[in-house]
Chains A and B, each alone.
Chain A
């Protein structure tokens, strides 16, 4: 456990000292979401109807943006070799890295999402559901993304590969994330969607450390 906490605090400290890098994902999130009205026009009703989808899709892409660095820096400077050689199970290492990624990427996105909802004229009654759905969905994005980041270590142009590997796997999260919000806004019961988001989170919580650790081990070869 000390290794888990040590790695988590180190990654958070690294992110804190490179604040500019960490804020890029949020900036991208807000900026790219702000582009849609230029594409479809400023009509308030249309934007309000699009809001859940736009927020989720851009959040998905913003998470992708920061995934490449998740293991790459440690891979390049040799730190990853030492983590593989540490007595702590590698699965816990993957979990710690994914958690650090979520704290530095997912959490700021959740904080910025209400701002976008405001810009899109979304009904404020949907805000609690937006926060809840993103709080359940974005950790899965970090976890599944960790698999992709680990698999592409040492690949040529890994940064371009990651979206190709990770996006198809993220589709269920997108579907239920948007559906929960849509249901809440339309006065329907969002409970089943939220349950599915939770199930997806638990599933990726199990799958991602195992697959990620296997990927890291083979990256040492």
Chain B
């Protein structure tokens, strides 16, 4: 079992599927945006600003989803020492942080017309903010070591510890926010959501997921190539 056991197979596979995923992601996001901006109705209470939801909600989904992917990759890196798992975690972390940031920014933009202020210490916003900090810590730890292997190993342990803590943090933040203020007034999670709103939301959600997958594959690929070049340079230096 060598550290770079099967990058060749991975690269061949990713070269085949990458174009399909990329095209599909672009198509879904285009369709989703069209439905969201032109077809779906404006909300009777929130007006046009409800359309922020079609970016905000999928981003928030992605924030959680990517953290789960990182935790799963970290577990398989620590338990089975799978050679690609570290690279998947490393490639995913900045993407996840960006989605989390996007969720925060769109949430804040949405909050301005609804709550009259850019930021409220609402339970959801606050726990997404904490998740953003977790991403930042993961990225910082990953890059803090001179040896990439050590950075990956340490970040993997942190990701698992963080993953165990995410539900606890979310729960305690919700507890805290109900203590300090009544639950926020306007929530659109009614019992059912109208299909004209559901379809664009689903299209955007799936589009975001595929977009993440494509981006992640590209990043893993470039990490692999960089590792190969580094190894080449190191051996060349030793040979001369």
Contacts and interface: CB of A to CB of B under 8 A. Distances in A.
A158 B161 CA distance: 18
B172 A175 contact: yes
Contacts of B179: 179, 182
Contacts of B140: 161, 164-165
Which 9 A/B pairs are nearest by Cβ-Cβ distance?
A: A155-B144, A172-B172, A218-B153, A168-B133, A175-B176, A165-B137, A164-B137, A175-B172, A151-B154
A156 B150 contact: no
A17 B162 CA distance: 36
A175 B171 CA distance: 11
B95 interface: no
B161 A211 contact: yes
B69 interface: no
B150 A218 contact: yes
B154 A171 contact: no
A211 B150 CA distance: 15
Interface secondary structure of A, over-half rule:
helix
B134 interface: yes
B144 to A, nearest CB: 4
B115 interface: no
A215 B146 contact: no
Interface residues of B, number: 31
Nearest to B171: A172
Interface of A: 147, 151-152, 154-158, 161, 164-165, 167-169, 171-172, 175-176, 179, 182, 196, 200, 203, 207, 211, 214-215, 218-219, 221
Contacts of B137: 161, 164-165, 168
Given A164-B133, A215-B157, A221-B150, A169 B172 contact: no
A137 to B, nearest CB: 12
Contacts of A169: 161-162, 165, 169
Contacts of A158: 144
Contacts of B145: 154-156
Contacts of A176: 172, 175
A171 B80 CA distance: 32
B173 A171 contact: yes
A15 B153 CA distance: 31
B158 to A, nearest CB: 6
Contacts of B52: none
A45 B187 CA distance: 35
Contacts of A152: 141, 144, 154
Contacts of A221: 147, 149-150, 153
Interface string B25-39: 000000000000000
